Amino acid sequence: MEESTSPRILIVDDDPETTDIICRVLSKEGFDVTTTVDPRQAIEYVEDEKFAVVVSDIQMPEISGHELTRAVHDTVKGTQVILMTAYSTIDKVVEAYQVGASDYLLKPFEDLDEVAEAVRGAVRRHQRWHEALRKTYRQSEQRWA
Amino acid sequence: MDLSDLYTPQELAEKRISFLERVLAFYNEIPETADRARTVGHKLRGTGGNLGLADLAERGTALQWQAQEGASSDVLKGELARIRPQIEAAIARERAILSERGA
Protein backbone atom coordinates (compact mmCIF):
# COMPACT_ATOMS: atom_id res chain seq x y z
CA MET A 1 0.00 0.00 0.00
CA GLU A 2 1.34 3.44 -0.92
CA GLU A 3 2.11 5.60 2.10
CA SER A 4 0.30 8.93 2.27
CA THR A 5 2.50 12.03 2.22
CA SER A 6 -0.27 14.27 3.60
CA PRO A 7 0.15 15.35 7.21
CA ARG A 8 -1.58 12.86 9.48
CA ILE A 9 -4.16 14.20 11.92
CA LEU A 10 -5.87 12.31 14.77
CA ILE A 11 -9.24 13.61 16.00
CA VAL A 12 -10.52 12.53 19.42
CA ASP A 13 -13.98 13.41 20.74
CA ASP A 14 -16.58 11.29 22.52
CA ASP A 15 -19.24 12.82 20.23
CA PRO A 16 -19.03 11.04 16.85
CA GLU A 17 -20.81 13.97 15.17
CA THR A 18 -17.96 16.30 16.16
CA THR A 19 -15.23 13.93 14.95
CA ASP A 20 -17.15 13.52 11.69
CA ILE A 21 -17.50 17.28 11.08
CA ILE A 22 -13.80 17.90 11.74
CA CYS A 23 -12.81 14.85 9.66
CA ARG A 24 -14.78 16.17 6.68
CA VAL A 25 -13.34 19.68 7.03
CA LEU A 26 -9.75 18.42 7.24
CA SER A 27 -10.16 15.81 4.51
CA LYS A 28 -11.31 18.60 2.18
CA GLU A 29 -8.08 20.41 3.11
CA GLY A 30 -6.07 17.37 1.99
CA PHE A 31 -5.06 16.01 5.40
CA ASP A 32 -4.90 12.29 6.15
CA VAL A 33 -7.40 11.98 9.01
CA THR A 34 -8.03 9.28 11.62
CA THR A 35 -10.86 9.62 14.16
CA THR A 36 -11.81 7.94 17.41
CA VAL A 37 -14.41 8.52 20.11
CA ASP A 38 -12.28 6.62 22.64
CA PRO A 39 -9.28 8.44 24.20
CA ARG A 40 -7.70 5.08 25.22
CA GLN A 41 -7.71 4.04 21.59
CA ALA A 42 -6.22 7.45 20.74
CA ILE A 43 -3.23 6.66 22.98
CA GLU A 44 -2.79 3.31 21.20
CA TYR A 45 -2.91 5.06 17.82
CA VAL A 46 -0.26 7.56 18.94
CA GLU A 47 1.96 4.70 20.18
CA ASP A 48 1.67 2.86 16.85
CA GLU A 49 1.55 5.62 14.24
CA LYS A 50 3.05 9.04 13.58
CA PHE A 51 0.65 11.97 13.71
CA ALA A 52 1.61 15.57 13.04
CA VAL A 53 -1.36 16.86 15.04
CA VAL A 54 -3.86 15.50 17.58
CA VAL A 55 -7.12 17.45 17.92
CA SER A 56 -8.88 16.43 21.12
CA ASP A 57 -11.88 17.35 23.21
CA ILE A 58 -11.09 18.11 26.87
CA GLN A 59 -14.10 16.62 28.63
CA MET A 60 -14.31 12.92 27.81
CA PRO A 61 -15.20 9.90 29.92
CA GLU A 62 -12.29 8.16 31.69
CA ILE A 63 -9.45 10.16 30.12
CA SER A 64 -9.53 13.95 29.78
CA GLY A 65 -7.98 15.87 26.92
CA HIS A 66 -5.39 17.18 29.39
CA GLU A 67 -4.36 13.62 30.33
CA LEU A 68 -4.32 12.63 26.68
CA THR A 69 -2.04 15.60 25.90
CA ARG A 70 0.43 14.47 28.58
CA ALA A 71 0.30 10.90 27.22
CA VAL A 72 0.96 12.12 23.66
CA HIS A 73 4.00 14.16 24.75
CA ASP A 74 5.32 11.25 26.87
CA THR A 75 5.01 8.92 23.87
CA VAL A 76 6.19 11.03 20.95
CA LYS A 77 8.05 14.31 20.61
CA GLY A 78 6.98 17.05 18.24
CA THR A 79 3.34 16.02 17.77
CA GLN A 80 1.18 19.11 18.23
CA VAL A 81 -2.00 18.92 20.31
CA ILE A 82 -4.99 21.18 19.83
CA LEU A 83 -7.52 21.00 22.67
CA MET A 84 -11.16 21.98 22.30
CA THR A 85 -14.04 22.36 24.70
CA ALA A 86 -17.55 23.71 25.10
CA TYR A 87 -16.76 24.46 28.74
CA SER A 88 -14.30 27.28 28.84
CA THR A 89 -12.85 29.04 31.84
CA ILE A 90 -9.57 30.91 32.18
CA ASP A 91 -8.28 28.03 34.33
CA LYS A 92 -9.06 25.49 31.61
CA VAL A 93 -7.24 27.54 28.97
CA VAL A 94 -4.20 27.99 31.23
CA GLU A 95 -4.18 24.27 32.08
CA ALA A 96 -4.39 23.37 28.37
CA TYR A 97 -1.20 25.31 27.64
CA GLN A 98 0.47 24.06 30.82
CA VAL A 99 0.06 20.42 29.77
CA GLY A 100 1.55 21.24 26.38
CA ALA A 101 -1.35 22.00 24.04
CA SER A 102 -0.26 24.31 21.25
CA ASP A 103 -3.71 25.73 20.51
CA TYR A 104 -7.19 25.88 21.97
CA LEU A 105 -10.58 25.87 20.23
CA LEU A 106 -13.91 26.74 21.75
CA LYS A 107 -17.02 24.76 20.74
CA PRO A 108 -19.21 25.50 18.97
CA PHE A 109 -16.76 26.67 16.34
CA GLU A 110 -17.42 30.20 15.10
CA ASP A 111 -16.56 29.05 11.63
CA LEU A 112 -15.41 25.69 10.27
CA ASP A 113 -12.47 27.42 8.59
CA GLU A 114 -11.25 28.27 12.11
CA VAL A 115 -10.61 24.54 12.68
CA ALA A 116 -8.75 24.15 9.38
CA GLU A 117 -6.62 27.23 10.12
CA ALA A 118 -5.72 25.96 13.62
CA VAL A 119 -4.63 22.61 12.17
CA ARG A 120 -2.65 24.23 9.34
CA GLY A 121 -0.81 26.31 11.99
CA ALA A 122 -0.10 23.21 14.09
CA VAL A 123 1.21 21.32 11.04
CA ARG A 124 3.59 24.23 10.32
CA ARG A 125 4.84 24.09 13.94
CA HIS A 126 5.30 20.31 13.65
CA GLN A 127 7.31 20.74 10.44
CA ARG A 128 9.49 23.46 12.04
CA TRP A 129 10.13 21.19 15.02
CA HIS A 130 11.36 18.39 12.76
CA GLU A 131 13.48 20.78 10.67
CA ALA A 132 15.13 22.07 13.85
CA LEU A 133 15.76 18.50 14.98
CA ARG A 134 17.33 17.53 11.63
CA LYS A 135 19.52 20.66 11.72
CA THR A 136 20.68 19.83 15.23
CA TYR A 137 21.58 16.26 14.21
CA ARG A 138 23.54 17.54 11.19
CA GLN A 139 25.46 20.02 13.34
CA SER A 140 26.26 17.39 15.91
CA GLU A 141 27.45 14.95 13.20
CA GLN A 142 29.75 17.66 11.76
CA ARG A 143 31.14 18.39 15.21
CA TRP A 144 32.09 14.72 15.72
CA ALA A 145 33.28 14.08 12.16
CA MET B 1 -16.96 26.46 4.57
CA ASP B 2 -20.23 25.54 6.28
CA LEU B 3 -22.28 22.43 7.02
CA SER B 4 -23.91 22.46 3.57
CA ASP B 5 -20.42 21.98 2.08
CA LEU B 6 -19.98 18.85 4.18
CA TYR B 7 -23.38 17.16 4.27
CA THR B 8 -26.46 16.62 2.15
CA PRO B 9 -29.68 17.73 3.94
CA GLN B 10 -30.48 14.05 4.62
CA GLU B 11 -27.07 13.35 6.10
CA LEU B 12 -27.29 16.41 8.32
CA ALA B 13 -30.80 15.44 9.49
CA GLU B 14 -29.56 11.95 10.35
CA LYS B 15 -26.59 13.35 12.30
CA ARG B 16 -28.85 15.73 14.24
CA ILE B 17 -31.38 13.01 15.09
CA SER B 18 -28.67 10.65 16.27
CA PHE B 19 -27.11 13.37 18.44
CA LEU B 20 -30.39 14.62 19.93
CA GLU B 21 -31.57 11.10 20.75
CA ARG B 22 -28.31 10.60 22.64
CA VAL B 23 -28.89 13.83 24.56
CA LEU B 24 -32.41 12.68 25.46
CA ALA B 25 -30.94 9.42 26.77
CA PHE B 26 -28.89 11.44 29.28
CA TYR B 27 -32.18 12.41 30.95
CA ASN B 28 -32.54 8.76 32.05
CA GLU B 29 -28.91 7.72 32.29
CA ILE B 30 -27.58 10.45 34.61
CA PRO B 31 -29.33 10.27 37.99
CA GLU B 32 -27.84 13.36 39.66
CA THR B 33 -29.59 16.56 38.53
CA ALA B 34 -26.56 18.87 38.45
CA ASP B 35 -24.50 16.32 36.47
CA ARG B 36 -27.42 15.79 34.10
CA ALA B 37 -27.81 19.54 33.58
CA ARG B 38 -24.06 20.02 33.03
CA THR B 39 -23.90 17.18 30.52
CA VAL B 40 -27.05 18.11 28.60
CA GLY B 41 -26.03 21.79 28.56
CA HIS B 42 -22.47 20.99 27.53
CA LYS B 43 -23.52 18.69 24.68
CA LEU B 44 -26.18 21.04 23.35
CA ARG B 45 -23.79 23.96 23.42
CA GLY B 46 -20.79 22.25 21.84
CA THR B 47 -21.97 19.54 19.48
CA GLY B 48 -25.47 21.01 19.04
CA GLY B 49 -23.91 24.32 18.06
CA ASN B 50 -21.54 22.62 15.64
CA LEU B 51 -24.51 20.83 14.05
CA GLY B 52 -26.20 24.19 13.47
CA LEU B 53 -28.85 23.75 16.18
CA ALA B 54 -28.49 27.38 17.26
CA ASP B 55 -31.57 27.69 19.53
CA LEU B 56 -30.77 24.52 21.43
CA ALA B 57 -27.11 25.52 21.68
CA GLU B 58 -28.20 28.80 23.27
CA ARG B 59 -30.42 26.96 25.77
CA GLY B 60 -27.56 24.55 26.44
CA THR B 61 -25.17 27.41 27.16
CA ALA B 62 -27.61 28.91 29.67
CA LEU B 63 -28.20 25.52 31.34
CA GLN B 64 -24.49 24.80 31.54
CA TRP B 65 -23.89 28.21 33.07
CA GLN B 66 -26.68 27.69 35.66
CA ALA B 67 -25.25 24.28 36.63
CA GLN B 68 -21.74 25.71 36.82
CA GLU B 69 -22.91 28.58 39.04
CA GLY B 70 -24.54 26.15 41.47
CA ALA B 71 -28.24 26.73 40.70
CA SER B 72 -30.58 24.70 42.89
CA SER B 73 -31.73 21.25 41.87
CA ASP B 74 -35.29 22.54 41.39
CA VAL B 75 -34.16 25.32 39.05
CA LEU B 76 -32.08 22.86 37.00
CA LYS B 77 -34.90 20.30 36.89
CA GLY B 78 -37.28 23.00 35.66
CA GLU B 79 -34.89 24.12 32.94
CA LEU B 80 -34.21 20.51 31.87
CA ALA B 81 -37.96 19.92 31.67
CA ARG B 82 -38.41 23.05 29.48
CA ILE B 83 -35.61 22.03 27.11
CA ARG B 84 -36.79 18.44 26.65
CA PRO B 85 -39.82 19.25 24.42
CA GLN B 86 -37.59 21.52 22.35
CA ILE B 87 -35.23 18.61 21.73
CA GLU B 88 -38.17 16.38 20.85
CA ALA B 89 -39.54 19.04 18.49
CA ALA B 90 -36.13 19.35 16.80
CA ILE B 91 -36.04 15.57 16.29
CA ALA B 92 -39.54 15.70 14.77
CA ARG B 93 -38.44 18.51 12.40
CA GLU B 94 -35.41 16.54 11.25
CA ARG B 95 -37.54 13.39 10.78
CA ALA B 96 -39.92 15.46 8.64
CA ILE B 97 -36.97 16.51 6.46
CA LEU B 98 -36.02 12.86 6.01
CA SER B 99 -39.55 11.86 5.20
CA GLU B 100 -40.00 14.76 2.70
CA ARG B 101 -36.90 13.60 0.91
CA GLY B 102 -38.05 10.01 0.94
CA ALA B 103 -35.25 8.75 3.14
Does residue A92 have a pLDDT over 90? no
Hey, where are the domains in chain A?
8-144
Collapse the DSSP code of A20 into the 3-class scheme (helix H, G, I; strand E, B; otherwise coil) and give the result: helix
Residue ranges of domains in chain B, CATH in brackets: 8-100 (1.20.120)
Please list the alpha-helical segments (H only) found in chain B. 3-6, 9-29, 33-43, 49-50, 54-68, 73-100
DSSP 3-state assignment of A29? coil
Closest to A109 (Cβ–Cβ): which among B19, B43, B50? B50
Give the distance from residue A123's alpha carbon to the nearest chain B alpha carbon, in angstroms: 20
Write down the ipTM of this complex: 0.90
Say which of B1, B42, B68 has its CB closest to residue A25.
B1
Mean pLDDT of chain B: 95
For B35-93, the pLDDT digits (tens) are 999 999 999 999 999 999 999 999 999 999 999 899 999 999 999 999 999 999 999 99
Residue of A107, A109, A110 for testing the chain B interface, max B β-carbons within 10 Å: A107
Query: Quick one: three-class SS letters along A32-71?
Result: EEEEECCHHHHHHHHHHCCCCEEEEECCCCCCCHHHHHHH
Residues B11-50: tens digit of each pLDDT: 999 999 999 999 999 999 999 999 999 999 999 999 999 9
Q: Which residues of A touch B42 (CB under 8 A)?
A: 59, 86-87
Average pLDDT over all residues of chain A: 91
Q: Whole-model pTM?
A: 0.90
Q: What pLDDT, on a 0 to 100 scale, did the predictor assign at position B37? A: 96
Q: Which CATH class is domain A8-144?
A: alpha beta
